[in-house]
Amino acid sequence: MASEEDKYFEVALGLVKSAGRMVRDAFDRPFSEVQTKASNTDLVTETDQNVEILLTRGLSDAFPDHQFIGEESAAAGKKIEFTDAPTWIIDPIDGTTNFVHRIPMICICVGLAVKKELRMGIVYNPITNELYTARTGQGAFKNGFRIYVSKTEELSKSVIASTLGIHNIVSQGPSWLDKSLSNARRQVEAGVRGIRSFGSAAINMVCVAQGSLDAYVEYGLHCWDVAAAAVILKEAGGVVIDPTGGEFNMMSRKVLCASTKELATQLSGMLTHANYEPEG
Ligand code: IPD
């Protein structure tokens, strides 16, 4: 017999696929108008807003007592409230800058938390047609096939995703750039195989989940960037922690993901960290 959570997953998946068609259509059209939010590097398009409306309306029609945390509703002033109620955490387009510049590294992210525990995650790139899904205790999948993290334990065998985090200059001040560059420098000096920056937190995380990347670290994120992908990464056997080495908290605005505990510990130990007020 189908459980309540089976139903949640089925409805969310259907809506994510419809949202994917919307994003794909917009991606194929000529460039349209872009607005900025908190800063010149914080972008939003009509598509981000329409996708969030499609997902939230569809889910609240099906599950009227569920709650929502969404990137664009938060930007429009809705308070982030994280309670024990089933709560959908939505990023309509993770990688909006990529979307605006027509770089095909974008995804729709839908995560569900129940009693504050993440239970399922869907990350869908409608341009490359890569659909990642996971439910707690049931494994992680890409287009229906099981995925697993790499077994890499050494920095010298790792490809790591990170970013300069240009938007952090607004919240952390101009010294942020020095911290960020010296964090990258330490990774290079440790002999990593490569550093990548894909412009979408969730894509970085599912790349660790499928074993293409070995680790990913970023500061200044939001819960909607990481919630869905965190479930996928854990279910693929990966480690998701706070960059300082503590427990992962999706509201803490930072994340470190790795294929193994050994790699996570080494990476965490070599970084200069940034602190944020938790959201929600
Ligand atoms: C952004 C992307 C980007 C990360 C930013 C996020 P958005 O999300 O995940 O990779 O560096 O911190 O805000 O705004 O495109 O949903």
Break the chain into its structural domains and give their ranges: 4-146, 155-269
What number is the average pLDDT over the span 136-148? 98
155-269: CATH topology is D-Maltodextrin-Binding Protein; domain 2 (3.40.190)
What number is the average pLDDT over the span 129-138? 98
Least confident stretch, 27-31, 223-227, 250-254 = 27-31
Residue 221 CB–ligand 1 contact under 6 Å: yes
DSSP string of 206-239? HHHHTTS-SEEEEES--HHHHHHHHHHHHHTT-E
Q: How high is the pLDDT of residue 35?
A: 79
4-146: CATH topology is Fructose-1,6-Bisphosphatase; Chain A, domain 1 (3.30.540)
Q: Kindly give the pairing relationship between strand 159-161 and strand 215-219.
A: parallel
Percentage of the chain exceeding pLDDT 70: 100
Annotated binding site for Mg(2+): 71, 91, 93-94, 225
Q: How confident is the model at residue 280 (pLDDT cuts 50, 70, 90)?
A: confident
| Burial readout 20-34 (b: 16 or more C-beta within 10 A, e: otherwise) | bebbeebbeeeeeee
Q: Is the whole-model pTM more than 0.90? A: yes
Q: How confident is the model at residue 31 (pLDDT cuts 50, 70, 90)?
A: confident
Taking only the tens place, the pLDDT of each residue in 37-88 is 777 777 778 999 999 999 999 999 999 999 999 999 999 999 999 999 999 9
Q: How high is the pLDDT of residue 167?
A: 84
Q: Which of 127, 225, 232, 235 is catalytic?
A: 225
Q: How high is the pLDDT of residue 275?
A: 86
Residue 200 CB–ligand 1 contact under 6 Å: yes
What number is the average pLDDT over the span 84-112? 97
What number is the average pLDDT over the span 253-257? 97
CB of 48 within 8 A of CB of 95? Answer: no
Is the pLDDT at 164 greater than 90? The verdict is no
Is the pLDDT at 166 greater than 90? The verdict is no
Q: Ligand 1 centroid to 187 CA: how many Å? A: 22
Least confident stretch, 175-179, 196-200, 207-211, 246-250 = 175-179
CB of 120 within 8 A of CB of 135? Answer: yes
Q: How high is the pLDDT of residue 81?
A: 93
Q: How high is the pLDDT of residue 42?
A: 75
Residue 94 CB–ligand 1 contact under 6 Å: yes
Interface confidence, given as ipTM, is: 0.95
Q: How high is the pLDDT of residue 58?
A: 98
Phi and psi at residue 232, in whole multiples of 5°?
-65, -45
Residue 152 CB–ligand 1 contact under 6 Å: no
- Looking from the CA of 59 toward its CB, the CA atoms found within 13 Å total 29
Length of the chain: 280
What number is the average pLDDT over the span 181-201? 97
Is the pLDDT at 169 greater than 90? The verdict is no
Closest CA to 110 of 229, 204, 237, 200: 229
Q: Ligand 1 centroid to 246 CA: how many Å? A: 22
Least confident stretch, 61-75, 161-175, 207-221 = 161-175
Q: Which protein residue's CA is at the shortest distance from atom 12 of ligand 1?
A: 221
